[in-house]
Structure 1
């Protein structure tokens, strides 16, 4: 890498066109200026100026080095401007969350982007472990997860809770025992179904559900699009477990019934980022909106 001090001396010499003026401007001696130029020429392997007594002309190689040095200074100034400029209403925000949270959150994020067009929001739907991995490897800046992450790698704060609901079509006979009813209905699976079922069976305080083996419940269909999970139920097919917010945003909630358990099942949500990572000011605006959803 070329010495930046030599490059600065060279730029000054070309801009002033005189060794003495360059020395005065740089607070150097004239032999010091000559020494910098000689060292720069040696490093480049080419003569950069053609000397003629007290004057000089720039060589073709010298013009290339001059433009290179100018570009370096310009890029350095651009970098400093970027470091000193942190507009809370401008820049890219990258985050991930579950599909159900995305369904709830994204319309509100779009409102923010409409109010501030220079904020660019990139939202990805993914399971908790994928979100944490993406944050750890710098692929996204933050995420919303449902498990308390490892404090050695992540900073996090509790956002709030969302209710999980066990759902079926309104035509399902809910008077049967849990095992018979769910086995006859069959599960409409989705990427988070096993996690939600496990949590629901554990927290619902229904002893019959706690005894159920999730792996033995017949799966009669699956879909990985959050907005489509309830479509089979609306057509009288199967059951599933999903956050209540998904039901509330469904186009025909009247076709779905909630299979009530003894106790509401709540899942805690956490806003997480990489340990000791200070995010740009725009994330303060974004996160104020996110927190308001659960407050």
Structure 2
């Protein structure tokens, strides 16, 4: 790979020539010379300099975006070649949507570490749209997502696990332990505490609303699952959450499931990749994901 490209990416991320030089084990003048040559080759200035920092200008942002993809592809190519003669090892970049990433993935990684200690995973947790975008731009080797996302046809997608979604509320909420059947009108008049638009959990909630023909007037948006659980426990409203995410709270009696006819609502988790070639580390990880016994440990009631 062209060293100029790697130097440029490092300077852009460190926003400082000295820190970039330290990261690259180079002298600062050498880094500066690489950047000058790179800008001359591109034919335009890419970085704006101040006394302490450098930052990308508009042209620099375009070059950086594509440079990250090139660096990622080159690194993946090198690992694939190395794998021909070596066992599963090396870096593995994983993206996962919040529910799976926070409540299931740590257990999968622990099992992988036991058998393949030389694999070095890094994890990005984000909503489905963010994870899919990072896989598309070769910043992640694999994504684990829920629901649908943009440009699905450009990915290699494999459904591998099913999750159950349930309505939850504070133990003191009027809908809990109700003797008569909960109606759609009861659900519609509640305050719903939901994930942000773009998350798989939010998509599941919207599908449930569509199925029941309801349109809640009061929706509170919160960007991750843990504060949603805290808000539900505090009595601010009700939510639709994964049974993977609420096991501790159910055991402790902090929140309870609301008995709604037609639930639980199920959704699929999928593996997404973009390349037909896989490093041995990625093959090992996907095999663990496909192994259903690895996931039943975390299903409701276990």
Contact 2:147 2:267 (8 Å CA) reproduced: no
CA gap of 1:82–1:238, structure 2 versus 1, over 3 A, is closer
Q: Which residue of structure 2 aligns with residue 238 of structure 1?
A: 237
CA gap of 1:114–1:250, structure 2 versus 1, over 3 A, is farther
Q: What is the CA–CA distance in structure 2 between the aligned matches of 1:80 and 1:125, rounded to whole Å?
A: 26
Contact 1:190 1:224 (8 Å CA) reproduced: yes
Q: Which residue of structure 2 aligns with residue 144 of structure 1?
A: 144
1:279 Cα shift?
A: 1.4
Contact 1:148 1:270 (8 Å CA) reproduced: no
CA gap of 1:281–1:255, structure 2 versus 1, over 3 A, is same
Contact 1:96 1:123 (8 Å CA) reproduced: yes
Q: Which residue of structure 1 aligns with residue 81 of structure 2?
A: 83
Contact 1:168 1:257 (8 Å CA) reproduced: yes
1:165 Cα shift?
A: 1.0
Q: Does 1:183 align with 2:189?
A: yes
Deviations 1:74-98, CA, capped at 9 Å, x for gaps: xxxxx98982445443111112121
Q: What is the CA–CA distance in structure 2 between the aligned matches of 1:268 and 1:285, rounded to whole Å?
A: 21
Contact 1:146 1:269 (8 Å CA) reproduced: yes
Q: Which residue of structure 1 aligns with residue 116 of structure 2?
A: 116
- Compute the RMSD of aligned alpha carbons: 2.8
Q: Which residue of structure 2 aligns with residue 40 of structure 1?
A: none
Contact 1:160 1:268 (8 Å CA) reproduced: yes
1:259 Cα shift?
A: 1.6
**TM-score w.r.t. structure 1 length?**
0.61
Q: What is the CA–CA distance in structure 2 between the aligned matches of 1:291 and 1:132, rounded to whole Å?
A: 19
Q: What is the CA–CA distance in structure 1 between the aligned matches of 2:99 and 2:79, rounded to whole Å?
A: 39
Deviations 1:148-188, CA, capped at 9 Å, x for gaps: 5656411111102101111101111124644345534x222
Q: Which residue of structure 1 aligns with residue 55 of structure 2?
A: none
Q: Does 1:213 align with 2:219?
A: no
Q: What is the CA–CA distance in structure 2 between the aligned matches of 1:154 and 1:81, rounded to whole Å?
A: 21
Contact 1:196 1:242 (8 Å CA) reproduced: no
Contact 2:89 2:280 (8 Å CA) reproduced: no
Gaps of 5+ in 2: 1-76, 297-302
Query: How many residues matched?
Result: 206
Q: Tell me the secondary structure at the aligned position of residue 138 of structure 1.
A: coil
Q: What is the CA–CA distance in structure 1 between the aligned matches of 2:248 and 2:165, rounded to whole Å?
A: 14
CA gap of 1:141–1:183, structure 2 versus 1, over 3 A, is same
**TM-score w.r.t. structure 2 length?**
0.59
Deviations 1:12-63, CA, capped at 9 Å, x for gaps: xxxxxxxxxxxxxxxxxxxxxxxxxxxxxxxxxxxxxxxxxxxxxxxxxxxx
Q: What is the CA–CA distance in structure 2 between the aligned matches of 1:125 and 1:81, rounded to whole Å?
A: 23
Q: Which residue of structure 2 aligns with residue 93 of structure 1?
A: 92
1:233 Cα shift?
A: 2.2
Q: What is the CA–CA distance in structure 2 between the aligned matches of 1:249 and 1:125, rounded to whole Å?
A: 21
Farther-moved stretch of structure 1 (127-136 vs 227-236): 227-236
Q: What is the CA–CA distance in structure 2 between the aligned matches of 1:95 and 1:270, rounded to whole Å?
A: 13
Contact 2:92 2:122 (8 Å CA) reproduced: yes
Q: Tell me the secondary structure at the aligned position of residue 255 of structure 1.
A: coil
Contact 1:164 1:267 (8 Å CA) reproduced: yes
1:252 Cα shift?
A: 5.0
CA gap of 1:226–1:122, structure 2 versus 1, over 3 A, is farther
